Amino acid sequence: MAIRIDGKAIAAKVKEQVAEEVRGLKAQGIAPGLAVVIVGEDPASRIYVNNKKKACEAVGIYSEEYALPAGTTQEELLSLIDRLNKKPEISGILVQSPLPKGLDEAAVVEKIDPQKDVDAFHAYNVGKIMQGSYTFLPCTPAGVIELIKSTGVDICGKQCVVIGRSDIVGKPMAMLLLHENGTVTICHSRTQNLSDICRGADILVSAVGKAHFVTGDMVKPGAVVIDVGMNRDENGKLCGDVEFSEAEPKAGYITPVPGGVGPMTIAMLMKNTVAAARLQAAK
């Protein structure tokens, strides 16, 4: 039976460390600040934004929220980001996705000052991640690395399989595992013999966004299984990509949903905001 990886407990430790760093920075006259921009009234986005505000309050980071109507134009949104780029109280800028139809998300990301891009989605930061000389890491993949390391399993030399190739999770996840000297395979909708590939994984990360996608027969005995998925099952209950009841008896370590990756994403956002404040103070 797998050991459950407690994302809430690990995230709480990260936030304690961040709070300590924030106190140290404030003693030097540096106050980290995060601006969160939300456009429209997507219910899931509203929950995420509220959770980010609470996390900022808990660790002592100053935060501002900009809630814009769904009819906001591209020019209005870019103008706001331009103002936030120039605002000294703001160390980090986060634009909650998804944006309403008609808005160019890529152009919005590229408008953010790379030194304030605490999501690490800007092309400059993506390039730095590829090189391994980064300041920020995307929050979810960075959180996953922390969860894997918490198990005591050394990523070096392990067969690592990532299901999903999104710019937000799949691709950067693969790069971070590669930086830890894992041997990485990225799987996606066109992958042949997916089950066979997954069965060879010492570390299996699923970020495909489909409930019940990873079944027990796809899990290698003793593997570390990280479930990034946030889905609703046929009963409307929150679940991940992994069929937990089948995978748990076979895996060595496994993340639950909820309570696994989710809390780590916000904890790493707090960490990135502090890193941004340090970077800008050093200019």
Q: Annotated catalytic sites, by residue?
A: 52, 96, 119
Q: Apex CA 24: angle with CA 28 and CA 65, to 5°?
A: 90
219 in Cβ contact with 245 (< 8 Å): no
Task: Give start and end residues of each alpha helix (H) in the chain.
Answer: 7-27, 43-59, 74-86, 105-111, 123-131, 139-150, 170-179, 194-199, 244-247, 261-281
Longest dimension (CA), the chain: 56
For 249, the token pair is 């008896």
C-alpha atoms less than 13 angstroms from C-alpha of 135 in its C-beta half-sphere: 21
**8 A C-beta contact, residue 161 and residue 200:** yes
**16-55 burial: b if 16+ Cβ within 10 Å, else e:** eebbebbeebeeeebbbbbbbbbbbebeebeebbeebbeb
